[in-house]
Amino acid sequence: MKSNAITLWMAALMIVSISACKKSETKTTLPVEKTDSLKVSFSSNSPYKLFSFKNDAIVPNADSVSTNWDFGLRFTTFIVNSHSSGPGNAGVILQNSTYASVTSVPSTGYAYDTTSSQKAIKDGSWYNYNPMTHAFSPKAGQVFLFRTAENKFVKMELLAVDYEPFVGPVPVTLIYRFRYTFQPNGTTTF
């Protein structure tokens, strides 16, 4: 009788453990939706701010030779972690669409930074500039489709580009606000 109770208890414990594993696996495969911001220097000579979709974090420049980051931003210039800009497999497609209507992304056709002057995201292709106010604004109806450095997929929309409050004739910092959906399981659907 005592051994049956122990066997029954062990079986229940195993079922609970297996169920817990399945729940955590499910959580990691659901798309992650975030809204974030990134502060970058107003100078086109400053280091890139590197960003990881997987970790929703800025990556130190010391890690620029790793696959820990997906895109970098300096002033108005984007880089992606591949080819001439890094060791990863990141690429990007700039698509005319609305964020909500993008429910899947292609598995091929991504642009890369082929040389230091040939970037995947062409400077000026994603923003409007007002010379009277010196304001940058993301072009409406454009969605960035990323394949990350580790072959996951992301859709991203720039919401705003603002100057951080400043004193003096020239701003010091731009604040990029963006939202994105990261698919951690490697599929192309959101």
Residue 65 pLDDT > 60: yes
Residue 29 pLDDT > 80: no
Phi then psi dihedrals of residue 101, to 5 deg: -80, -15
For residues 75-103, give the mean pLDDT: 97
What pLDDT is attached to residue 14? 53
Note the pLDDT tens digit of each residue in 132-151.
888 889 999 999 999 999 99
C-alpha 4 chain-centroid distance: 53
Per DSSP, which regions of the chain are E strands?
Answer: 32-41, 49-52, 57-59, 71-74, 77-80, 91-96, 127-130, 135-138, 142-147, 153-163, 173-183
- Whole-structure pTM value: 0.83
What pLDDT is attached to residue 26? 43
For residues 11-37, give the mean pLDDT: 64
Note the pLDDT tens digit of each residue in 105-139.
999 999 999 998 999 999 999 999 998 888 889 99
Q: Evaluate whether 130 touches 137 at the Cβ level (below 8 Å).
A: yes
CB atoms within 10 A of CB 157: 20
Question: Chain-wide mean pLDDT for the chain?
Answer: 88
Q: Evaluate whether 79 touches 71 at the Cβ level (below 8 Å).
A: yes
SS3 for 23-42 is: HHHHHHHCCEEEEEEEEEEC
Q: Residue 5: enclosing H or E segment and its boundaries?
A: helix 2-29
Residue in this structure with the two tokens 């969605």, named with its chain if needed:
143
What pLDDT is attached to residue 18? 52
What pLDDT is attached to residue 169? 84
